[in-house]
Each structure stands twice: as structure tokens, then as C-alpha cells.
Amino acid sequence: MPSEPVVHVVDDDEGVRSSLSFLLGCSEIATRTYETAVEFLKAVPTMEHGCIITDVRMPQMSGLELVARLKSMGVADPVIVVTGHADVPMAIQALHAGVSDFIEKPFSDEAILIAVRTALARQQNRDEIERERDEVQRRLATLSGREREVMERLIEGKANKVIAYDLDISARTVEVYRANVMTKMDARTLSELVRMVMIARLT
């Protein structure tokens, strides 16, 4: 069973860390707080997944530098950037870098809660897709080489006769392989099989 999501708050302002932790806690959302981006990065390898809230301006490493570092580390958790008015251009730059949202100070409780819930929902969807992708890849690994060849042509929309010609086998043999593929992949229809293969190829 997946663990509850956690919001990681990265801000050098103790007051901001405390207020966000209290606000999210009142909404029954777990939090972890970090004074610097460097401190947070040390925790990344063992951190609970959820989302990240980071200020733009911080000592040692800025919020934008943190976003870039997380991306290079392959961390896919959504990032919400908190910014002062003068930092809006940088926040827009962060959006282009792939952050989930940016919120301008002073922000309302409602604004931060909406941003966090949206980010957590997005992360949950991503986790579900990843679990499905892993399961589909497990099923794909059970296919024989010939079954995979038939499957590749099926998802291209080729008819059995065409596949038979391509592989120099009989149409009846194609039907057998096709049935094996559908059974091993647990696909009820061809469109379901296509969807599975597309999920398996997501990066």
C-alpha cells in the first residue's frame, strides 16, 4: 500500500516554514521542513514522495537552482515555487523549467492549499501510471520473440494476412500468436493492447 504523500517545505525563513507546516497540518497533509536547498538535497534519496514547496531566494542555492538539480537527479515530484513580486520573471522561468506552480507573496491559505492539492493529485496520477507501466512491462517480458513480432504489427493496425506475409507464416499461425499475446497481456481488445504498449513506452 503506497504511503501518504508528504509536502517538503524548503525556505530559509523559519516563520514561513512554521506557518506552512501548521496550515498543511490542519488540513491533515504531512510536511517536512528544510532551512536550505542543500539540506533538502541531502534528504532526497530517502524522502517520502509528494510535492515540494521552495522559495526562490535562499542562501547557498536558489529555488531555481534547486529545481534544476532535482531535474538532473530524476526527481519527478511536483515543485511549487514561492516568490516575491520582484521574482515573478524568475518564477515564469521556473514554469518553463517544469515546475508545477508558482505563488506570489503574500499568498492566501486557500491559494497554497489549492496548489498543494493539485500537485499531490498530479503526483498520485503519475504514481498510478508508473505502477501500471511496470505491470505492462512485466507482461511484455513474458512474450516470446515471435509473439512480440506479431504484437508490434497488430498495434500498427496490420491485418492477420498481412502479418502472415511479413513474417512468412500462415494466417492460422498468426491467429495462434495473436491469441497468446492477448492472453499474456490480459488485453480484451486490440485498442486495450495498443493503450498498454503506449503506457509501457512512456518515459
Q: Are 30 and 81 in the same domain?
A: yes
Q: Are 121 and 155 in the same domain?
A: no
Q: Are 150 and 187 in the same domain?
A: yes
Are the CB atoms for 67 and 23 separated by under 8 Å? no
Q: Are 79 and 178 in the same domain?
A: no
Q: Order of strands across the sheet with 101-104?
A: 30-34, 6-10, 50-55, 79-83, 101-104
SS3 annotation, the chain: CCCCCEEEEECCCHHHHHHHHHHHHHCCCEEEEECCHHHHHHHHHHCCCEEEEEECCCCCCCHHHHHHHHHHCCCCCCEEEEECHHHHHHHHHHHHCCCCEEEECCCCHHHHHHHHHHHHHHHHHHHHHHHHHHHHHHHHCCCCHHHHHHHHHHHCCCCHHHHHHHHCCCHHHHHHHHHHHHHHHCCCCHHHHHHHHHHHCCC
In a domain, 32, yes or no: yes
List the one residue out of 155, 148, 162 whose CA is nearest residue 189: 155
Q: Are 73 and 22 in the same domain?
A: yes
Put residue 53 in one of left, alpha, beta given phi > 0 → left and psi -120 to 50 → alpha: beta
**Given CA atoms 197, 200, 202, 203 in this order, what sign does their dihedral have?**
negative
Q: Are 115 and 165 in the same domain?
A: no
In a domain, 137, yes or no: no
Q: Choose the final residue of a domain: 127, 156, 174.
A: 127
In a domain, 133, yes or no: no
Determine the pLDDT at residue 86.
63
Task: Please give the tally of structural domains in the chain.
Answer: 2
At 203, the pLDDT band (50, 70, 90 cuts) reads low
CATH number for position 172: 1.10.10.10
Q: Are 66 and 106 in the same domain?
A: yes
Look up residue 135 and give its three cell numbers. Answer: 505491470
Please state the pTM of the whole predicted model. Answer: 0.65
The answer on pLDDT for 161 being more than 70 is yes
What average pLDDT does the segment 93-114 reach? 82
List beta partners, residue 8.
32, 52
| pLDDT tens digits for range 23-80 | 999 999 999 999 999 999 999 988 888 999 999 889 889 888 998 899 889 888 899 9
Parent domain of 193: 142-200
Q: Are 78 and 159 in the same domain?
A: no
In a domain, 183, yes or no: yes
The answer on pLDDT for 199 being more than 60 is yes
Q: Are 92 and 11 in the same domain?
A: yes
Query: What backbone phi and psi angles, to 5 degrees, belong to 83?
Result: -140, 150
CATH number for position 69: 3.40.50.2300
Q: Are 76 and 123 in the same domain?
A: yes
In a domain, 132, yes or no: no
